[in-house]
Amino acid sequence: MSAIADTCALCPRLCRHVCPVAVGTGLESATPTAILTEVMISNRSKGEHQLAAQAVDLCTRCGHCEDFCGVDQPVVALLDDARTRLQDSPPAWTPPRVQGHAPTVAIICGAVDWSEALSEHTGQEFAILKTHDHLGEAHRIRTDTRDEVIALLARTLQGRTAISSCATCTEALAAADITVETIEAVSQQMPRLPTWRTCHCAPGPSVDTIVRCCGARAPLTLQQPELARAMSAEILRRLDGQAIYVPNTRCAEHLQDAGVQAVGPADSIPNMED
């Protein structure tokens, strides 16, 4: 992996303009090139690992750098690999308990529990899984603990369908081969607002094509919350008061915290206000 990492470290930062952390914070240190420079130096030296261990967390793993790269560098995998090598392992992950026996499970990962409103709107009963760490996100960004989390998740939700409003959780569920539906699909409600395309939304028309990730995801939001907030503040500045629809609860909440008039998937469920 080290020769491949060096290719990024020696590149003239050609992907910097698509990196949402580099653009949103303006910091040179957040460019994939700068991060992998620290990794390269760490790989080549015996003792200097501290900076690299911190630098690999200046990322939201959105993968835009990979999409843009002209030489197909696997940047996210390089950073996950470096994180695993350079940082201590976290304590083992315990999966959250599913409450209820309904075949469809509402994955509640944010501040608002939307399951009751959705149940009222659709007349369908849901089991609930509340997660405070987006289904082991911190474990899934490492190569040594990722598979175990996915396996535990698969066992926990075996045979059930999930409803998720968050791209981070959806990603984990999909990796565990769990069928996932979105709130929009179940409720058949979609607000009439311009859509802010976050990093893991399907491509489509958007209100801004420059900062495509709001900073809500790990590792950045866990390790550098101040910079994650700087990213949402930058989006607030760019939107200049415009209201938007964000098809991702986690991102919507992150942007709302910054003062953005953001409407998330849960907000469009009828009776949600009640």
Partner 1 sequence: MDLNALRQSGIYVTDSTLHLSAYRRDLWPRDTLQLLTQGERPDLPAAVASPTSAEQVAACIEWAVREGVQVVPYGAGSGVCGGARGRAGSLIIDLKRLNRIRHIDPNNRTVWIEAGILGQHLEDQLAQIGWMTAHSPSSIACSTAGGYIAARSAGQFSSRYGVFDDMTLAARAETPTGRLHCGQWTPPDQEDLLPILTGSEGGLGVVTDLLVRLQPQPETRWLRGFAFESTEAALDAMRALMQANLWPSVLRLYDPVDTKIGGKTKASDAKSGGGIFGWLKATASKNPALQKHLLSLPLAMPGLLNRIGRSLGNEVLLIVGFEGPLAVVNSTIQDAAPLLQHGRDLGPEPGEQWFAHRHDVSYKLAPVFIAGAFADTMEVAATWDRLGDLYESVRGALSKHTAVMAHFSHAYREGCSIYFSFAGRGTLKNYDATWRCALQAARDAGGTVTHHHGVGVLKAAAAAKEAGAALRVWTEIKRELDPDGLMNPGRPFPEDAQPDNSCTLPAPTGGPVFDLNGTNLLARIDPEADPMVIQSALHEQGYSLRYLPDRPYGAWIDKLERGSMEVWQSPLFGLQARFDDGAVARIFPAPRSAAGPDLRWSLNRRAKTEWMDVPIRPHGDEITVSAHHPNLDQRDVRPVWRTEEIWGFSKGQRTLAENCFLPSDDGSPPSIKPLVKT
Q: What are phi and psi of 86, to 5 degrees?
A: -95, -15
Tokens of 48: 């200097």
Contact status: 46 vs partner 1 (CB under 8 A): no
Q: For the chain, give the longest Cα–Cα distance.
A: 61
In the region spanning residues 149 to 208, those forming contacts with partner 1, defined by CB under 8 A, are: none
Choosing from 123, 159, 209, 241, the residue that interacts with partner 1 (CB under 8 A) is 209
Examine residue 54 and tell whether it contacts partner 1 (CB under 8 A): yes
| Contact between 47 and partner 1 per CB under 8 A | no
| 20, 21, 32, 38: residue in contact with partner 1 (rule CB under 8 A) | 38
The least distance separating partner 1 from the CB of residue 220, rounded to whole angstroms, comes to 13
- Residue 43 within binding range of partner 1, rule CB under 8 A: no
Torsion of CA 271, 180, 110, 247, to 10 degrees: -70
Residue 86 amino acid letter: L
Which amino acid, residue 34?
A
Q: How many CB atoms lie within 10 A of CB 122?
A: 16
| Residues comprising the chain, all counted | 274
As a whole number of angstroms, the distance between CA 115 and CA 127 comes to: 9
Residue 16, interface with partner 1 (CB under 8 A)? yes
Residue 237 is a binding residue for partner 1 (CB under 8 A): yes
56 or 263: CB nearest partner 1 = 56
Secondary structure letter of residue 101 according to DSSP: -
Task: Give the residue, chosen from 210, 243, 259, 270, that forms a contact with partner 1 under the rule CB under 8 A.
Answer: 210
Q: Which of 43/165 has CB closer to partner 1?
A: 43
Q: What is the DSSP string of 46-73?
A: SS--HHHHHHTTS-----HHHHH-TT--
Name residues contacting partner 1, limited to 72-101 (CB under 8 A). 72
Tell whether residue 29 is a contact of partner 1 (CB under 8 A): yes
Structural contact between residues 189 and 167, judged by C-beta atoms closer than 8 angstroms: no
In contact, 199 and 167? CB cutoff 8 Å: yes
Count, residues near partner 1 per rule CB under 8 A: 38
Return the number of the residue (26 or 259) whose C-beta is nearest partner 1: 26
Cβ nearer to partner 1, comparing 81 with 234: 234
Based on the shown chain and the rule CB under 8 A, indicate whether residue 34 belongs to the binding site for partner 1. yes
* CB atoms inside a 10 Å sphere around CB 163: 26
Which residue ranges make up the site for partner 1 (CB under 8 A)? 3, 6-17, 23, 25-29, 31, 34, 37-38, 41, 44-45, 51, 54-55, 58, 70-72, 209-210, 230, 234, 237
